[in-house]
Amino acid sequence: MSEDERAIRELVDTWMRASMDGDLQTVLDLMCEDVIFMTPGRPPFGKSEFAADSRSMQKMQLQGRADIRECQVNGDWAYLRNYLSMTLTPEGGAPIALSGWTLTILRKEADGKWRLARDANFVAKDEAAIV
């Protein structure tokens, strides 16, 4: 495994850990300023919309895991194919299981750090499983 692939896998681990800890600033720091997210049922959105969505979910408990199935690095660009499984539990509510694929493009920026540049996320309700 190359040093770049190791750094990308660590980014994903950091993202998941920070998300479960409610550490939004750490997650935002893992994104390029011009990041674009693509999800079903809504137009593409950027970093500020991601932050607002995350803040609106502050009272939800998140558990989850990422299973990187493919990671390819080409210079200062990389992509990864990832399967996410997670459970969101609203305060005082029943857990909601979610799972699905993501296809993520990452960019190594001038400071030498990999950051998320584009993300196509197909995570949806999963009635069959709770993480």
Can you list the domains of the chain with their CATH numbers? 3-125 (3.10.450.50)
Task: Give pTM, 2 decimals.
Answer: 0.91
How far apart CA 110 and CA 98 sit, in angstroms, is 35
Rounded to an integer, what distance in angstroms lies between the CA atom of residue 53 and that of residue 68? 24
Supply 105's token pair.
């493009």
26-36 per-position pLDDT tens digit: 999 999 999 99
Q: What is the DSSP letter of 111?
A: T
- Single-letter code of the amino acid located at 33: E
pLDDT digits (tens, 9 = 90+) for 44-61: 999 999 999 999 988 899
Tokens of 119: 């993300």
Asked if the model's pLDDT at residue 130 lies above 80, the reply is no
